Every structure is written in C-alpha cells, then in structure tokens.
Structure 1
Amino acid sequence: MGSTYSVKYVRTEGAPAVEALQAETEAILAEVDRQMSTYRDDSLISRFNRAPAGSCMAMPAEMLQLVSVGQALAQESGGAFDLTLEPLLNLWGFGPQARVERLPTAEQLAEARSRTGHRHLRIDGERLCKDVDLQLDLNSIAAGYTVDRIVARLVELGVTRYLVDVTGELKAAGRKPGGDAWRIAIEAPRDDERVAQRVLELDGYGISTSGDYRNYFEENGTRYSHTLDPQTGAPIGHKLASVTVADPSTLRADGLSTLLMVLGPARGLAYAERAGIAAFFVIRDGERFVTQTSGAFERLFAEGEEQ
C-alpha cells in the first residue's frame, strides 16, 4: 500500500509468538496487495482494469465484498462515493498512471468522466462486470478492510487486547497492560507540523481520517485536493480540511470518511446526523480551523470520559 503498518498487542498465555503473528499479518497484507493494488500490473484489480468494456471477470469473495460495500455507500450517498474514479485521478495527477499534476482541459475531463460511474459496475454471481471501459480503485476502503482482516485473525489466535494501524486507519480493543485505554490522536490538518487536534480512547472501534492536507497541488493560487467529487469529476472545493469517522467496522469508517469529505462541512454533518455516524469535522476558517462533531461522536467520545 506504499505505507506502513503497526500491530501492538498484549500477550497472554497460549498466544502465538511475535514472529508468528507478524507472519500472519504480513500474509494478509501480501494477499491484499496481490488482489487490490493499482500500482501492480499483475494484481487482480489491474487485470480487471485492463479488460475491455462489457466484460466480466471471476473475483475472490474478498474483492466482491469490498465492491459490494462501496456500491452500497454510493447508493446511500446519492453518488458522493464512487469506486470508479481512477481515470479522473490519473487525469488530475493523483492516480497510479498519473504523469504530471496539471489542470485538465474540458475535453479531457469529459472523456474521463465517460469512463466513470458506479452504475457501470455490477456483481454477477462470483464475477465482476463493467459496462464501460472503467477502472476500479479500492484505495478508499482497502486499508480499513485490511485492518479488520488483521484484527479478525488476531482474535482467532487468542489476542483480544490490541491496537492495529494500517496506513493510518486503525482499530483498538481491550486495555493496555497497566489498565489504561488505547489512546489515539486526531491530527490537526496542518502542512508545517504534526499537532494533535483531539485525543480519543478506543475500545472496539475503528477510526479513519480523510483530509486534503497531505496530497494536493496548487496552481495559480488555487489548491487542488486528491479527493474528487464524483458529481463534477473535479477536486472538492469546499472548506472542509479533514473528517474523522469512528465505526465498529474500520472498513465502513474508511469509506464514510471519504464520503463525508466529498460532501463537505454542511452536507456532510447533515448526512452524519441523519445516518447516526460518529464524525469529527475540521473546517478551514481563514487562517484558523474550527471543529464540529456529530451527536453520535459526542456520545461515543464524551470529553474527559471513557467510551
């Protein structure tokens, strides 16, 4: 995934050795990479992306599960979430086949948009099918899914107290040896330094943060984020700098943080309240940031209290 992972856990009698758990973890990471990496020509997703319009391809259950979750998020959000944006990501300079960060022409944008859209992707039994020459990209949910896979394997092997982090998506359960909760910090969306915006105590929840402050470019004084709005085919243009979501499923938290980032501060908060999503929004206000939280987030992480 071009990033890092970390597994911290409390050893108990009968639990496997560190080396065994590391091997189990890296086997899962390698499988996800073989199946879902858009940066590998030999991955399943790259083979699917090279297949012509109107074709179907047999896929393992794990791949179909992720597509199913992504399609459900697309339906629930009226298209604010979309797994088929890779042609647009490449065009804007953020995808695996991107060559240069530049502003596309109207003609280039129209051509790329003709090859995107969740409605052109469907599951047919054990096969994945596409109606147009689209390219699937699971990067908005694959890391959260991987966290859940690793956690499930740890629990099968007798580990119940852990903090698992894959590319910044994470999940924790139980308590540390001294009885303290696992604590994680939500990072303030600053370019110049790393500062904690808020510290959370986690037990049984996955956490995902999406933001526009790490991957972007500027041209003629305008900032272009790597988060694209499927409705326009262009980078988001609102004031939302980052959004953090907590959910028992790290996979779902991963997808929801992207979805809310696309919707922006007003529509995103309204969506989170309607859907009961625990979300923390950081919004640009001139040279400073303001924060807003959904009711579900405050109930889950009351200031100064354990969840």
Structure 2
Amino acid sequence: MILRVVIVLLLPIVLAGCGPRVEEFGGPTMGSRYAIKYLAEPGGPDRARLQAEVEAILAEVDEQMSTYRSDSLVSRFNAAPAGSCQPMPAPVLELVSFGARLSEQSGGAFDLTVEPLLDLWGFGPQSRGERVPSAEEIAEVRARVGHRHLRIDGDRLCKDAAVQLDFDSIAAGHTVDRIAARLEELGLRSYLLDVTGELKVRGRKPDGSPWRVAIEAPRDDRREAQRILALDGYGVSTSGDYRNYFEVDGLRYSHTFDPASGTPVRHDLASVTVVDRSALRADGLSTLLMVFGPQRGLAFAEEQGIAALFVRRKAEGFLVEESRAFRDLE
C-alpha cells in the first residue's frame, strides 16, 4: 500500500477590492500539515470558531486512527491477539467497511491490513530500517495480511488472525470529507481544504473564478506542476512512489505494496491522481490504481468511470495518460 505524501500544491490567491474576502488558517497534523482557504462573508462564522471545529475533528481522527500513537484505538487493536474483539466508534467501522468493499472490488489489491509488510520492508511505524527481507520472512508476514481476517460484530471490530490495520491510504480523505461537511454546516459556501495533500474544493473566489489546484509532477529533483485543474465540489487525491523509497543494488523499492506478493510493486507508474465528489473515494482509489499499475489501472478506471490521471516513467521523461472521465473534467 501507500503511505500518504503531500504532492498537491495550492496556487496563490490574489485578493482585490472589498466585500467577501479570502481568509486562511492551518497547522500541523498527521505528520504533515493542513490548510484551509475560505470565502469569509458578513455574518459567517469567525476564524477562531472554524479553526477550533476543524482541529477537534483532526484530534479525533488522530486519537482513533494513528498508527504512530501507541494509545490510539487502532494501535490498541493492532496490539490485541488473534481472536479478540474491540469496541470501535462509527468512523472506524465505516472505514473498515469501505476498505473491505474496495478490497473485494479490486480482488485484494487494496488492503488495510498491510502494516506488517510496511514494517518488514522499513516503511511502517514499527520498522527497524529499510531492507530487502527474505522470501521466508515475507511468507510469514503475508499469513497475517488480508481483510478476510476482519469481522464487524455490532459496534465491535474482531480479528481471527494477528492482523494490523493501517488507515494511511484513506484516513486523510475521510478527514477531508468530515471537515468539509462541518464547514458547510457552519455556513461556508466556498473553500479550498487541504489535509496532508488530500484536497476538496467548493464554490468560487471573490472575483468569480474557480479554485485552481496544481497536480505536482512526480520528480525527485524539483517540484513543478504536471497539470492545473479548476474544480468545484470535488475531492482530489494523488498517490506516488517518488517521495518514499530506497535503492539496493540498483533496484528501486517504493512504499507501494502488492498485498498478493508482499513486495513493492514493479511497474513504471510514478503517480496517480483521482478526482471524485468524495475525497475518501479519491484517496482509496488513487492507492488502488497505484497498486494495479498503468495498464490494469487505466482499464479499471475506464470500466468504473473513475476520473484518473496516470504518470508513467519512461527513458525520455514522463508519459501522461488520462481516463475518459478525467478528460471530461476539463
């Protein structure tokens, strides 16, 4: 699977005139940052209240789903033995159910239980350094990977093997959707929301122009825009292999894992961007398509009507491919 990296850039906003104005705030979260730009109108909620509401949601997600906190609900579940059950709040159960649906839909290519593989190869929260494990080590860990080992019983999450959950592939998208819903409940009609690189945009800027986001090119040497999109009412997620990898004997090992083999994927796909009304779906699907690779991923996107942008590494540079649904966005 894929650990989340911040790979979507916000374009600068130019303010002019009076009337409604763009305000912004942000801060640290999930090992990265969040940022919100919004259209402040007379009679709307003040910035202090908005920030308090947003950070309450961020804190709740961290307490429930962070694998980097030993006291989080998911860490306690991961530490529990096979055959145990643990009460879980609705958001956690909803994400497990969402992950199970994507796992079934993808034939197991999407899997929320790959944390032991991430640790084994040196990418996870309990890793002991980057290395290439033996086939025997991979086989032993793979026996503890798979959604089939999870079961929801009422308000409890149960496991029949010593599986470990990792929500990194969908937690940020889920958080974006929750924050966006709360902002709209508080009366915001126009905003650009970024949580660790997962975005959602709604409405327009004071001059009537749409919010614009730049999808970053998957380069190791510098940061530049691959594509610029003008959107309204969409979530955007990009997954890539170029910010978290290591090399051994000339071979590149990324943090994108194929659960079926227990090894990093070996294809030329550098990044995938998905645009969807749901940031959660965009987040999960960008991970899924990254695991699938370019040919299988594009075929799946076309079959499912997914708006996806694929960037492949080639000797002469990058090859960009788009699904029909992505082209229809522009």
Q: What is the CA–CA distance in structure 2 between the aligned matches of 1:263 and 1:88, rounded to whole Å?
A: 18
Structure 2 counterpart of 1:9, one-letter code = Y
Q: Give the CA deviation at 1:114.
A: 0.8
Structure 2 counterpart of 1:60, one-letter code = P
- 1:52 corresponds to 2:111: no
In structure 1, the partner of 2:68 is: 39
Q: What is the CA–CA distance in structure 2 between the aligned matches of 1:97 and 1:113, rounded to whole Å?
A: 16
The match for 2:201 among 165, 169, 172 is 172
The match for 1:96 among 102, 108, 125 is 125
5+ residue gaps, structure 2: 1-29
In structure 1, the partner of 2:222 is: 193
Structure 1 counterpart of 2:267, one-letter code = H
3-state SS of 2:293 partner: helix
Q: Give the CA deviation at 1:17.
A: 0.7
3-state SS of 2:59 partner: helix
Stretch of structure 1 that moved more, 123-132 or 84-93: 123-132
- 1:152 corresponds to 2:177: no
Q: What is the CA–CA distance in structure 2 between the aligned matches of 1:14 and 1:38, rounded to whole Å?
A: 40
The match for 1:3 among 15, 18, 32 is 32
In structure 1, the partner of 2:165 is: 136
C-alpha RMSD over aligned residues: 0.7
Structure 1 counterpart of 2:139, one-letter code = A
Q: What is the CA–CA distance in structure 2 between the aligned matches of 1:63 and 1:41, rounded to whole Å?
A: 17
In structure 2, the partner of 1:107 is: 136
Q: What is the CA–CA distance in structure 2 between the aligned matches of 1:207 and 1:264, rounded to whole Å?
A: 19
3-state SS of 1:31 partner: helix
Q: Give the CA deviation at 1:14.
A: 2.0
Q: Give the CA deviation at 1:107.
A: 1.6
In structure 2, the partner of 1:304 is: none
Q: What is the CA–CA distance in structure 2 between the aligned matches of 1:216 and 1:287, rounded to whole Å?
A: 22
Q: What is the CA–CA distance in structure 2 between the aligned matches of 1:269 and 1:122, rounded to whole Å?
A: 31
Show CA shifts across 1:218-255 (max 9, x none).
11100001010011110010000000000000001000
- 1:184 corresponds to 2:213: yes
Structure 1 counterpart of 2:179, one-letter code = I
- 1:241 corresponds to 2:270: yes
The match for 2:51 among 2, 22, 29 is 22
Q: Give the CA deviation at 1:154.
A: 0.3
The match for 1:74 among 94, 103, 113 is 103
Structure 2 counterpart of 1:142, one-letter code = A
Stretch of structure 1 that moved more, 41-50 or 6-15: 6-15
Structure 1 counterpart of 2:98, one-letter code = V
In structure 2, the partner of 1:293 is: 322
Show CA shifts across 1:37-57 (max 9, x none).
000000000000011101111
Structure 2 counterpart of 1:100, one-letter code = G
Q: What is the CA–CA distance in structure 2 between the aligned matches of 1:202 and 1:38, rounded to whole Å?
A: 32
- Which one has more relative contact order, counting CA pairs under 8 Å at least 6 apart? 2
5+ residue gaps, structure 1: 302-307
TM-score, normalised via structure 2 length: 0.90
- 1:12 corresponds to 2:41: yes
Stretch of structure 1 that moved more, 131-140 or 9-18: 9-18
Q: What is the CA–CA distance in structure 2 between the aligned matches of 1:294 and 1:263, rounded to whole Å?
A: 15
In structure 2, the partner of 1:279 is: 308
TM-score, normalised via structure 1 length: 0.97
Q: Give the CA deviation at 1:287.
A: 4.2
- 1:224 corresponds to 2:261: no
Q: Give the CA deviation at 1:12.
A: 1.6
